[in-house]
């Protein structure tokens, strides 16, 4: 099995877990508020649907995707335009929204599976490989699925798929600094995380002075801004590593407000 196929398997599994959360919800259930201000469960699924559809256009019809980028850029606020598109989908009847999301994510997985190794896919920022796009979709499904689980009072068991989310958080270190108007440190960091099964996941040189350690779940919660740093067991050694944990983000776009300390106590 190739790496790309393995990633697609994990993307499917992550999406299936989200589907189990919403598959039997009644109409009032879809209107349940989530921890994201102003977003219901319907908005969470609508966001996943919209971004899956945009990703599918980028993979299958680059010219059409370029038109989408231009159209959204003309609004003057790309993020707000994307959220407006998701809000339109959130207004659909729940069964139509759910079925459209399921069909769309399956179509995207099929399209990504056909992308040749080494090919680049256009996106709103820099182009990316199929593997990078799949990894980003895993992160999105996990993070927005967590918002849904929090809204429903459901605790999800962490899996080794968290490694993909953690990897994005590590790889996006310098991007986080840019989004906060800061200069990223030139030296590499060491990151050591304990996976759900007890395995040690590492990034960076063994002898790095700046170090981050902790449970992989907590690191991912922090990197996706789903929990406040004060509520997590992620620790930093070194001033630069400590600063990074205050601004870390695994997602594209401007930093969000995140969650407040003690919100989920």
Model confidence at 59: pLDDT above 90:
yes
pLDDT in tens, 146-196: 999 999 999 999 999 999 999 999 999 999 999 999 999 999 999 999 999
Distances (CA, A) of 93 to 15, 46, 98: 20, 11, 9
Model confidence at 1: pLDDT above 70:
no
Average pLDDT of the chain is: 95
| Predicted pLDDT at 257 | 82
Interacting residues of 106 by C-beta distance below 8 A, sequence separation 6+:
none
Interacting residues of 246 by C-beta distance below 8 A, sequence separation 6+:
229
- Low-confidence winner among 30-44, 112-126, 148-162, 208-222 (lowest mean pLDDT): 112-126
| Predicted pLDDT at 256 | 80
| Predicted pLDDT at 72 | 85
Say which CATH topology domain 3-152 has: 1.20.120
- Who has greater pLDDT, 238 or 83? 238
| Predicted pLDDT at 81 | 82
b/e burial code for range 224-252 (CB count within 10 A of at least 16 → b): bbbbbbebbebebebebbebbbeebbbbb
pLDDT in tens, 65-75: 999 999 888 88
Q: Which architecture characterizes domain 162-247 according to CATH?
A: 2-Layer Sandwich (3.30)
CA 126 to chain centroid: 17
- Over residues 44-66, the mean pLDDT reads 96
| Predicted pLDDT at 171 | 96
Which backbone phi and psi does 116 adopt, to 5 degrees?
Answer: -65, 145
pLDDT > 70: what percent of the chain?
99
- Over residues 127-140, the mean pLDDT reads 96
Q: pTM of the entire structure?
A: 0.95
- Over residues 56-70, the mean pLDDT reads 94
Model confidence at 14: pLDDT above 70:
yes
The full set of domain ranges for the chain reads: 3-152, 162-247
- Who has greater pLDDT, 3 or 265? 3
| Predicted pLDDT at 49 | 97
Distances (CA, A) of 15 to 22, 35, 89, 178: 11, 20, 18, 30
Q: Do domains 3-152 and 162-247 have the same CATH topology?
A: no
């Amino acid at each position: 099995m190739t790496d790309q196929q393995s990633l697609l398997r994990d993307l499917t599994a992550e999406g299936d877990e989200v589907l189990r959360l919403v598959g039997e919800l009644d109409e009032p259930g879809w209107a349940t508020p989530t921890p994201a201000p102003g977003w219901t469960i319907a908005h969470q699924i609508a966001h996943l649907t919209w971004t899956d559809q945009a990703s599918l256009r980028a993979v299958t019809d680059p010219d059409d995707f370029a038109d989408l980028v231009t159209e959204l850029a003309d609004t003057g606020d790309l993020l707000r335009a994307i959220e407006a598109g998701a809000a339109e989908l959130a207004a659909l009847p729940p069964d139509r929204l759910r079925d459209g999301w399921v069909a769309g994510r399956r179509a995207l997985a099929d399209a990504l599976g056909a992308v040749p190794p080494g090919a680049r896919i256009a996106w709103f920022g820099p182009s990316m490989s199929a593997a990078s796009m799949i990894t980003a979709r895993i992160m999105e499904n996990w993070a927005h699925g967590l918002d849904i689980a929090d809204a429903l009072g459901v605790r999800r068991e962490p899996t080794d798929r968290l490694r993909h989310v953690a990897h994005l958080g590590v790889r996006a270190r310098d991007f986080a600094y840019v989004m906060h108007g800061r200069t990223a440190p030139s030296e590499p960091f060491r990151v050591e995380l304990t996976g759900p099964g007890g395995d040690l996941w590492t990034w960076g040189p063994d002898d790095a002075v700046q170090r981050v350690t902790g449970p992989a779940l907590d690191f991912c919660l922090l990197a996706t801004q789903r929990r406040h740093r004060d509520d997590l067991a992620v620790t930093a050694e070194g001033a630069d590593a400590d600063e990074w944990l205050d601004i870390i983000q695994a997602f594209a776009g401007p930093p969000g407000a995140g969650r407040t300390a003690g919100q989920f106590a």
